[in-house]
Amino acid sequence: MPTALIDLSVLSTAARLRGIGRYVAELALGLAEVSRGTRVRVLGLERLGVTGSSRVTEDLAGAVQRLCAADAPLRSHTQWASSIRLGLAPTAHAVAPDVVHTGHPGATPLRRLGCARVTTCHDLIPLNHPRHHVSYRSGFRAGRQRLDERRFHAADHVIAVSQASAEDLVRLLGVCQDKVTVVYNGVDSECFGSEPRVDDRSVRVRHGLDENDYVLCVGGARWRKNPERAP
């Protein structure tokens, strides 16, 4: 049976509170749903150590719930990245999936996995706007360039969440266009939709918005979210 292994261990870091964490969690839940009753098995890598010790589960929904629970412990990004670099290869060889997907591209395995590896490129903002993002910590612009080249050239295939990111991969990093597929982020229609829900008015009243016009901006306040133009 064809098997895909998805890295959920990144949800044990602060990334679970950000867009990438939401991407990983929702992708896992969606794949668990659509693969049910098919001849494809989707596994979640719930826990990973630097030595390759791991917890792999078929219960993706349970793993997401456990990792994203309010009282779930948080690992540092450095700890998670070290486990991917050192521990993902031993785990992949033990599980023997057909493909491994890493939804956060922030760590690259140091050894080959014995199978295809797909990673997701959410954007290349640091290379497009180095004045805001790169410093001596990342080796300035040249260091970040080499880091991103390794991240995406080492993968067997790259998912880009937008056409702009796909074009940046080719233009800025020289990734082969045939190696990149654009897969747009989805929208949870149960949470977001144009049809009003029964409790909408009570929410507006609670926040003093029932009699006023308003604009809701759900992005962060950092410069790249362009908050000045939100109104």
Q: What is the pLDDT of residues 151-180, one digit of tens each?
A: 999 999 999 999 999 999 999 999 999 999
> Which comes out higher in pLDDT, residue 168 or 194?
168
| Confidence (pTM) | 0.86
Per-residue pLDDT at 132 exceeds 90 = no
192 or 51, which is more confident? 51
DSSP collapsed to 3 states, the chain: CCEEEEECHHHHEHHHHCHHHHHHHHHHHHHHHHHCCCCCEEEEEEEECCCCCEEEECCHHHHHHHHCCCCCCCECHHHHHHHHHHHHHHHHHHHCCCEEEECCCCCCCCCCCCCEEEEEECCCHHHHCHHHHCCHHHCHHHHHHHHHHHHHHCCCEEEECCHHHHHHHHHHHCCCHHHEEECCCCCCCCCCCCCCCCCHHHHHHHCCCCCCCCCCCCCCCCHHHCHHHCC
User: What pLDDT is recorded for position 36?
Assistant: 86
Encode pLDDT of 53-81 as tens digits.
999 999 999 999 999 999 999 999 999 99
